[in-house]
Each structure stands twice: as C-alpha cells, then as structure tokens.
Amino acid sequence: MGFFDVEERLARLNGLDGQLETLSRTVDFEVFRPDLELALACSDGSKDGRPLFDPVLMFKILVIQTLNKWKTTDTAASDGA
C-alpha cells in the first residue's frame, strides 16, 4: 500500500467503526491513565514546544495496532488521510 492510497486507507479505517465501539464499551482505558502518566512523565508542559499527546489515546492506538496487526508505518502514513 502506497502513501497516497487514500481511498483504500479510508475504507480500512471506516471498517473499524464496529471494533472501536466494542472496544470503547468493553475496556475502561482511563484505568490505565495513572500508570501511563507515571511511565511517560518526561515533561510538565511548562516549556515551549508541542503539547504532549494524551497517553490514554496513544495506548488506545497501540492496542488497535496490535489487534489489527498493523505496522507503525501503516498508522503514521494514514495520519495524513
């Protein structure tokens, strides 16, 4: 799959709707927030720069990647779509 295969990537992401809804109903990801924030405590945000991504959101992305056997490059490339 090439970087510019937008339609194919969108169709693949749209196919996840049911899986994402089921995952959201089944798993309370907020339970992981304290451990994730402790493990990722690298900045308090007081310095200049881009704000940190929400650690729970990043954890959800890792879970979805694992469930769908995606490579990190597949997810990063679809970010522009």
CA distance 71 to 5: 16
Q: What is the C-alpha radius of gyration for the chain, rounded to an integer number of angstroms?
A: 15
pLDDT of amino acid 31: 95
34 located within any domain = yes
| 28: confidence class by pLDDT, cuts 50, 70, 90 | very high
CA distance 29 to 32: 6
pLDDT of amino acid 29: 92
59 located within any domain = yes
| 3: confidence class by pLDDT, cuts 50, 70, 90 | low
Task: Give the pLDDT confidence of 30-70 residue by residue, as tens digits.
Answer: 999 999 989 887 666 566 677 778 899 889 888 888 887 86
In which domain, by residue range, is 58 found? Answer: 22-39+51-67
Rounded alpha-carbon distances, angstroms, from residue 29 to 20, 32, 50, 64, 74 = 12, 6, 24, 12, 23
User: In the predicted model, is pLDDT for residue 71 greater than 90?
Assistant: no
pLDDT of amino acid 81: 43
- Indicate the number of domains in the chain: 1
